[in-house]
Amino acid sequence: MDININIAINNVKKYSEQSRLLQFRNCRILRDHEIITEDFWVRNGKIVDPEKVFFDENVSADVQIDCKGALISPGFIDLQINGGFGVDFSNNTEDVENGLLKVAKGLLAHGVTAFCPTVVTSPRDVLPFLKKRAGGSHGSAILGAHLEGPFINVSKKGAHPADYILNLSEGFKSVVDAYGSVDNARIVTLAPEMENASQVIKELTDRGITVSLGHSMADLHEGENGVHHGATFITHLFNAMPPFHHRDPGLVGLLASDCEHQVYYGIIADGIHTHPAALRIAHRTHPDGLVLVTDAISALGLEEGTHQLGQKAIEVRGGRAMLAESDTLCGSIATMCQCVQFFMKAVSCSIVTALEAVTLHPAQAIGIQHKKGTLQFGSDADFVLLGDGLNVWSTWIAGECVYQDTTCPQPSLFK
């Protein structure tokens, strides 16, 4: 690496850690559903209103940073990711802490500043280790676990182990018995047609946990009943649920249902798991609820070739993860940046629409939009600098530069 680039990177990191007030210039900003040309101000890990600084404090920036024309977007948020870089959250009980750190660190290169580590139907010893944690140079923030099961319909279990699937016969007690505690949970996916599901949905919602409907055989009425009791999300739309039918659209019908509150839905836009036409249908039906998720597995970030992951031999070839010596897909290995790029092209939407599907919408889906997923004043200074193709130039958490792609233009200090 060129020594001047090294110096510039180190200087930006130093100032972002130590300075009271940073001013990012020569940039565009995604704010209030549009891209504007305006300077961007950060202090003490928060986004600040420069007018208040000028008029109330009568001070100027301590440091001015040249962004070289980059687009500043809120950091990406992934609400469903099963692992990556050789780590599987559901089968890594012997070294959970290091596994989480490895994934959290690896995601920085792809613009992800916060995520929900997702565990499929599993024994109860997994959840206590998936603790919430602030982001920083060590990696993306952990928002809490996404518990994808075990309270799902066995007819739509997908890759979930049938032996661990449970019912809700004892209501919320069944949930506590399954995981011991839900203190580290942010999202719980369950099938709304299960006995006592309505009671459990309300209890989880009252505790501030987002309930997502999925891995289900529910008809539209059962789905609407789940929403009525507090569910606000749908897990990987079109996958692990009955296909749309004109007389009973099932959970897919919630996109056009007259629900009392907003319903969001996760969708995988990797060019493999969801056809571009299906992406267009979902987006045109309910654009404000669309949340891009990677649903990535442990093969994310691994080189092409054969890898032993848990009990399975997986072959990564042509951008796909297959069971070794077969043509059977075994999960997504797309990065969030790739999903954004593919989605924008597939649905012919604006940059703003594509970026809000990985920033504002996921934040809204779990109720953290007042501090993440946005560049509003007072929000956490978690953001990414993007090039014209939406490739990640650098990633910032709490106003600190935590990742730089050194092949891209580097932010530098104004002279």
Task: State the pLDDT at residue 109.
Answer: 97
Average pLDDT over residues 183-197: 96
Report whether 385 contacts 128 (CB < 8 A).
no
Apex CA 240: angle with CA 239 and CA 245, to 5°? 75
Can you state the angle between helices 276-285 and 336-347, rounded to 10 degrees?
Answer: 80
DSSP for residue 124: T
Q: Residue 178 corresponds to which tokens in the numbers above? A: 């399954």
Q: Give the Cα separation of 360 and 371 in Å (integer).
A: 10
For 277-318, the DSSP string reads HHHHHHHHH-GGGEEEE--B-TTTTPPSEEEEETTEEEEEET
pLDDT digits (tens, 9 = 90+) for 100-125: 999 999 999 999 999 999 988 877 76
Known binder of ligand: residue 339?
A: no
Q: Give the Cα separation of 13 and 8 in Å (integer).
A: 9
pLDDT digits (tens, 9 = 90+) for 384-404: 999 999 999 999 999 999 999
Place of tokens 């959290």: 104
Known binder of ligand: residue 30?
A: no
Query: By C-alpha distance, which of 190, 173, 184 is closest to 131?
Result: 184
Report whether 9 contacts 410 (CB < 8 A).
yes
Known binder of ligand: residue 289?
A: no
Report whether 198 contacts 229 (CB < 8 A).
yes
pLDDT digits (tens, 9 = 90+) for 159-172: 788 888 999 999 99
Known binder of ligand: residue 330?
A: yes
Known binder of ligand: residue 215?
A: yes
Known binder of ligand: residue 273?
A: yes
Going from the C-alpha of 58 to that of each of 64, 238, 405, the distances in angstroms are 17, 54, 36
Task: State the pLDDT at residue 366.
Answer: 98
Query: Which domains, ranges and CATH numbers included, belong to the chain?
Result: 3-74+373-413 (2.30.40.10), 76-365 (3.20.20.140)
Q: Are strands 71-74 and 28-31 parallel, antiparallel or unpaired?
A: parallel
pTM of the predicted model over 0.85: yes
pLDDT digits (tens, 9 = 90+) for 282-291: 999 999 999 9
Can you state the angle between helices 197-206 and 220-228, rounded to 10 degrees?
Answer: 30
Report whether 190 contacts 217 (CB < 8 A).
no
DSSP for residue 254: G
Beta strands in 95-144 (DSSP E): 112-120, 141-142
Element (H, E) at 356: helix 351-356
Q: Give the Cα separation of 240 and 222 in Å (integer).
A: 16
Give the pLDDT band of residue 374 (cuts 50, 70, 90).
very high
Beta bridge partners of 35: 30
Known binder of ligand: residue 331?
A: yes
Give the pLDDT band of residue 19 (cuts 50, 70, 90).
low
Q: Which of 78, 88, 219, 295 is catalytic?
A: 295
Known binder of ligand: residue 284?
A: no
Q: Give the Cα separation of 322 and 5 in Å (integer).
A: 39
Place of tokens 């009973």: 248
HSE, CB side, 13 Å, CA atoms: give it for residue 29: 19
Q: How many residues does the chain have?
A: 415
Active site residue 49: no
240 has pLDDT over 70: yes
Report whether 79 contacts 146 (CB < 8 A).
yes
320-323 sheet: strands from edge to edge: 305-309, 312-317, 320-323
Give the pLDDT band of residue 190 (cuts 50, 70, 90).
very high
Task: State the pLDDT at residue 106.
Answer: 97
Report whether 124 contacts 179 (CB < 8 A).
yes
